[in-house]
Amino acid sequence: AKSDMAPSRNKDAVRIAVREDVKRLTDWVFDPKAAPSAATFKDGEVTVAVIKPHAVAKHKSGAIVDRILHEGFEITALQLFTLDRQAAGEFLEVYNTVVPEYNGLVAEMCDGPCIAMELRAEGAVNAFRALAGPSDPAVAQHIRPDTLRAKFGVNKVQNAVHCTDLPEDGVLESEFFFDIMQDTL
């Protein structure tokens, strides 16, 4: 009887060891702090694109990323975030008194996971704004039907992607997600 129990204990010990190894590996792979950000924070060369929660929930992220890559952008950093109201409000603060949909934009950004990317290209901010298209998808569908917002946007709030407005804001927005937000994870 003693010899029958030994293999069972060995199998249990192996199972426990394997589970611990798998947990360590899983924690390393999925822990955003396990590896430093690849963001470059290069002024004039980077912009931030955020795939909004509604587009993530509708499984449009892959198509959006494919299109970004097809247009020649280099993705230098990419991370999934779930923003709380405070973080979304801070990120979108510049729109507070400018855009009537500000509260809706904040609510959308904290409605589920979003995907933030630092994109690099020559004239990155303006190039990505052109790819994103007008902020109103209905307008985009008429005047720029091949843009991301025309194809994946629903309305002015759920317009598929956020894009950096001004060239001088590219680095600031990248730092928000890939530096400042790293401390909150």
Catalytic machinery residues:
162
pLDDT value, residue 148: 98
Q: Are strands 114-120 and 161-163 parallel, antiparallel or unpaired?
A: unpaired
> What values do phi and psi take at 161, rounded to 5?
-140, 145
pLDDT digits (tens, 9 = 90+) for 76-135: 999 999 999 999 999 999 999 999 999 999 999 999 999 999 999 999 999 999 999 999
Q: Which residue has the tokens 């894009």?
A: 163
Which class for 99: exposed (0-12), middle (13-18), buried (19 or more C-beta within 10 A)?
A: middle
Residue where the block lists tokens 């589970």: 19
Cα–Cα–Cα angle for 182, 47, 32, rounded to 5 degrees: 20
Q: What global pTM score does this model have?
A: 0.81
Q: Which residues pair with 118 in a beta bridge?
A: 48, 77
Handedness of CA 113, 108, 156, 116 (dihedral sign): negative
Percent above pLDDT 70 for the chain: 81
Which residue would you say has higher pLDDT here, 114 or 16? 114
Which pLDDT tens digit goes with each residue over 125-160? Answer: 999 999 999 999 999 999 999 999 999 999 999 999
**Coil, strand or helix: which one is 153?**
coil
